[in-house]
Chains A and B, each alone.
Chain A
Amino acid sequence: MKIAVCIKQVPDSWAEKKMAGGVLDRANVDAVLNDLDEYAVEEALRIVEANSPSKEAGEASGHTITLISMGPERATEAIRKALSMGADDAILISDPALAGSDALATSLVLSEVIKAGNYDLVICGTESTDARMSVVPAMIAERLSWAQLTFAGKVKVDPAAKTVEIERITEFGNQVMNAAFPAVLSVIEKINEPRYPSFKGIMAAKKKSITTMNLAQTNVAPSAVGASAAWSTVKDALPRPPRGAGVKLTDEGSGGEKLVEFLVEKRLA
């Protein structure tokens, strides 16, 4: 099997975020691997391990895991982390022309790179913690005309039959979905517990290859990406006055009653 995992480097979600000229100011905050993508990397590793003869993940199994990321040069930091978890190699698509790309452009670039790689499965996280759109996996499936198996809480792969089955977790209940390869998956955070990179893994990752591609090396026209190609524009981004300092009271025996008085005054009870 050839598996690709789409990972993104994002600003640390604990850091304070600000807008700069209509876009998120990414330069001035710490960057980390999108934590929801760790579950995608982990699931890929588990799929390979479950289908490998030897205990060593991937060894002589004929299965490979390639990380694919679009982002600035410094995204190699996040890539190294995922490589040290055990992925085999990585592709980073990085080009100044890509700055400010929206989800439509991002999915276009990722799809073109995926198309060139002959993968059986593409695994994504459910959401990037900075864009928070939860749309890129569905867009990739649509663009590639591949099966879409998203919001998976469980994944079962049959490499011989070349099929995959997931349990899709949605607000209206759960569904079992099936498809033949190739398929685009996204996995939710309940699916597994991502491993910490071992010392051995960290050392090994230093030798793994990260192929950097610029825009010209993809099949995507410069006019289709970047801030000027975005199909939506931010008119303004205004800091909202902090929620007016709320009332804080220490319970001295009538805290519950005071709470109800507040609700009544606000016509909420």
Chain B
Amino acid sequence: MSSVLFLVDHSGGKVAKAAAELATFAKSIGESIAVVFASNPAEIASQLNNISVDKVITATGDWDKYGPAAIADGLAQIIAAKKPNALLITSSAAGKEIAARVAVKTNSGIITDAVGVDKDLITTQSVFGGSTTVHSAVTTGTPVITLRANSIEPVATTSAAAVEEFSVSISDSAKLATITSATAAVKGGRPELTEASVVVSGGRGTNGDFKPVEELADALGAAVGASRAATDAGWYPHSHQVGQTGKTVSPQLYVAAGISGAIQHRAGMQTSKTIVAINKDPEAPILEIADFAVIGDLFNVLPQATEKIKARKA
């Protein structure tokens, strides 16, 4: 039977939502094996009981000190021992770097930013502003595939998976760069941007006032995003920037308020399932990809929508 390893993302002792999605992909291909790198892996492994995992491999080590290079070391060693049919990693900046190093170490092909992978390990990617769908396959080694968050509806299970401890040695070259201090991203009460199933974003059109954007986000249980114009102006933190040089999001619903839809912005949100735009300008490029657009002032449209949603829930 095929087996598929996937890397469990976690931060602050909590497993990321994307882990359940990777587990679901892995399980649809074969035996689903979660790999946990942590200073206290038991704490992380215990959170994997209700997702599609057949087995958990844990590795204790100085991951917080050495970062992606060390984790890539560990994954390559586990691949050599377990000979899985594929490795799945979340398509984050760090995830892609880890994937890149594992591919080199194991002489394997790599596919990044997939939105799907089938049981024959054929991947689906959406490129050129979502205008083209590409199917690809790795032809050499152990396919290393990174998948975007929100690409699959996670399947829940109840079975507790067996945990195996694996001893990894970190190579000297992975110890060349050291992390001397870390500041965790400030987390509010809202969902994490890349994981959220609804994202409400504001741009230059907010003129610095994100209140209507945040209020609609809260009514929808959404994360808040921002265009680069808004983060550059200091209206919202850079960690919330959506786009080519910000985060890539792929939620069920993306609401763009006061955002023109420059190609660099679209690069980070074009795979959203439903796109809604609120813009004063009937010619704004975002309207070309919007499923629903209101041509109007966001300061009128957003508060009205927020009120209506609250009224429905009450």
Q: What residues make up the interface of A, taking CB atoms closer than 8 Å to B?
A: 13-14, 17-19, 36, 102-104, 107, 126-127, 129, 132-139, 141-143, 145-151, 165, 168-180, 183, 188-190, 230-240, 242-244, 246-251, 254-260, 262-264, 266, 268-269
Inter-chain contact A231/B140, CB cutoff 8 Å: yes
Minimal Cβ-Cβ distance residue in B for A258? B294
Chain B residues near A262 (CB-CB < 8 A): 276, 292
A-chain residues with CB within 8 Å of residue B312 when the two chains form the complex? 260, 264, 269
Partner-binding segment picked from B19-27, B66-74, B80-88 = B66-74
A162 vs B196: C-alpha distance in the bound complex, in angstroms? Answer: 43
Assess the A127–B183 pair: CB atoms within 8 A: no
Chain A min CB distance to B124 (Å): 10
- Taking the complex as formed, is B305 at the interface, i.e. its CB lies under 8 A from any CB of chain A? yes
B238 touches A256 (CB 8 A): no
Q: Which of A177, A250, A268 lies in contact with B198, CB distance below 8 A? A: A268
**19 A-B contacts (beta carbon < 8 Å):** A17-B128, A36-B245, A126-B245, A132-B244, A132-B267, A134-B96, A135-B96, A137-B97, A139-B103, A146-B173, A170-B93, A232-B110, A237-B134, A239-B132, A246-B287, A251-B295, A254-B304, A255-B294, A256-B301
Cβ–Cβ contact B178 & A142, under 8 A: no
Q: A103-B110, A235-B135 are in contact. Are A173 and B182 (CB under 8 A)?
A: yes
Find chain B residues with CB under 8 A from A150 CB: 68, 97
User: Contact: B245 with A188, CB < 8 Å?
Assistant: yes
B211 lies within 8 A of chain A by Cβ: no
Question: In the bound complex, what is the Cα–Cα distance between A172 and B136 (angstroms)?
Answer: 30
Query: Are A256 and B307 neighbours in the complex by a CB distance under 8 Å?
Result: yes
Report the bound CA distance from A231 to B108 in whole Å: 7
B296 x A251 contact (CB < 8 A): yes
Which residues of B (145-175) have their CB < 8 Å from a CB of A? Answer: 173
In the complex, what residues of A have CB within 8 A of residue B291's CB? 243-244, 246-247
Minimum C-beta distance from B151 to chain A (A):
16
Contact (Cβ within 8 A) A243 B289:
yes
Partner of B183, one of A104, A151, A173: A173
Instruction: Assess whether B113 is interfacial by the CB under 8 Å rule.
Output: yes
B308 contact set on A, CB distance < 8 A: 256-257, 260
Known: A134-B96, A256-B305. A178 touches B103 (CB 8 A): no
Q: A268 vs B276: C-alpha distance in the bound complex, in angstroms?
A: 11
Tell whether, in the assembled complex, residue B253 and residue A134 are in contact, meaning their CB atoms are under 8 Å apart.
no
Any A CB within 8 A of the CB of B53: no
How many angstroms from the CA of A266 to the CA of B252 in the assembled complex?
10
Kindly supply a per-residue 1/0 record for chain B positions 284-308, scoring 1 wherever the CB is within 8 Å of any chain A CB and 0 otherwise.
0001011111111100111111111
Q: Which residues of B contact A240 (CB under 8 A)?
A: 126, 130-133
Contact B132 A19 (CB under 8 A): yes
Q: A142-B105, A151-B93 given as contacts; is B184 within 8 A of A173 (CB)? A: yes
Cα-based distance from A137 to B307 in the complex (angstroms) = 48
User: Are A231 and B113 touching (Cβ within 8 A)?
Assistant: no
Report which of B93, B103, B113, B122 forms a contact with A235, defined as CB distance below 8 A. Answer: B122
B185 touches A173 (CB 8 A): yes
**Closest CB in chain A relative to B73 CB, distance in Å:** 10
The distance in angstroms between the C-alpha atoms of A189 and B93, with both chains bound, is 14
Complex partner residue of B100 from A142, A257, A260, A269, CB under 8 angstroms: A142
Which of A36, A132, A141, A180 has the most chain B CB within a 10 Å cutoff?
A141
> Is B99 part of the binding interface, using a Cβ–Cβ cutoff of 8 Å?
yes
Chain B residues positioned under 8 Å from A190 (CB to CB): 238, 245
- Sorted nearest first, the 6 A-B pairs with minimum C-beta distance are A256-B304, A251-B296, A231-B109, A135-B100, A147-B176, A256-B305
**How far apart are B292's CB and chain A's nearest CB, in angstroms?**
5
Residues of the A chain whose Cβ atoms lie less than 8 Å from the Cβ of B264:
13
CB-contacts of B261-275 with A (<8 A): 263-264, 267, 274-275
